[in-house]
Structure 1
Amino acid sequence: MKLPLMPKATAIWLIENTSLSFDQIADFCGLHELEVQGIADGDVATGMQGYDPIDNKQLTREEITRCENDSTAKLELIKSEVIESLPPRKKDTKYTPLSLRQEKPYAILWLLKRYPTELSSSQISKLTGSTKNTVDNIRNG
Structure 2
Amino acid sequence: MALPLMPKATAVWLIDNTKLTFDQIAFFCGLHPLEVKGIADGEVAIGIVGQDPVASSQLTAAEIARCEANPAANLKLLAPTVPLARQKTKGARYTPLSKRQDRPDAIAWLLKYHPEVGDAQVQKLLGTTKATIDSVRSRTHWNAPNIKPRDPVSLGICSQSELDRVLLLAAKRRDSKEKREARERERAGIEAPPAAAAAAGAVPLDEIDGDED
* TM-score with structure 2 setting the length: 0.40
Q: 1:22 & 1:56 partners in 2: Cα distance?
A: 21
Aligned to 2:68: 68
Aligned to 1:14: 14
Aligned to 1:95: none
Letter of the structure 2 residue corresponding to residue 76 of structure 1: K
Letter of the structure 2 residue corresponding to residue 13 of structure 1: W
Superposed counterparts of 1:1-141, under 5 Å = 1-83=1-83
Q: 1:63 & 1:23 partners in 2: Cα distance?
A: 16
What's the offset of the Cα at 1:37? 0.2
Q: 1:80 & 1:32 partners in 2: Cα distance?
A: 24
Deviations 1:91-133 (A, max 9, x none): x7xxxxxxxxxxxxxxxxxxxxxxxxxxxxxxxxxxxxxxxxx
Q: 1:56 & 1:5 partners in 2: Cα distance?
A: 9
How many residue pairs get aligned? The number is 91
Q: 1:81 & 1:4 partners in 2: Cα distance?
A: 13
Letter of the structure 1 residue corresponding to residue 30 of structure 2: G
| SS of equivalent to 2:15 | helix
Q: RMSD between aligned alpha carbons?
A: 2.1
| SS of equivalent to 1:20 | coil
Structure 1 vs Structure 2: percent identity of aligned residues?
A: 60
Q: 2:39 & 2:58 partners in 1: Cα distance?
A: 21
Letter of the structure 2 residue corresponding to residue 8 of structure 1: K
Which range is displaced more, 25-34 or 74-83? 74-83
Q: 2:66 & 2:37 partners in 1: Cα distance?
A: 22
Q: Which runs of 5+ in 1 are unaligned?
A: 93-141
What's the offset of the Cα at 1:83? 3.6
Q: 2:18 & 2:82 partners in 1: Cα distance?
A: 27
What's the offset of the Cα at 1:46? 1.1
Letter of the structure 1 residue corresponding to residue 76 of structure 2: E
Letter of the structure 2 residue corresponding to residue 45 of structure 1: A
Q: 1:29 & 1:10 partners in 2: Cα distance?
A: 7
Letter of the structure 2 residue corresponding to residue 25 of structure 1: I
Letter of the structure 1 residue corresponding to residue 20 of structure 2: L
| SS of equivalent to 2:37 | helix
Letter of the structure 1 residue corresponding to residue 64 of structure 2: I
What's the offset of the Cα at 1:51? 0.3
Q: 1:26 & 1:83 partners in 2: Cα distance?
A: 24
| SS of equivalent to 1:81 | coil
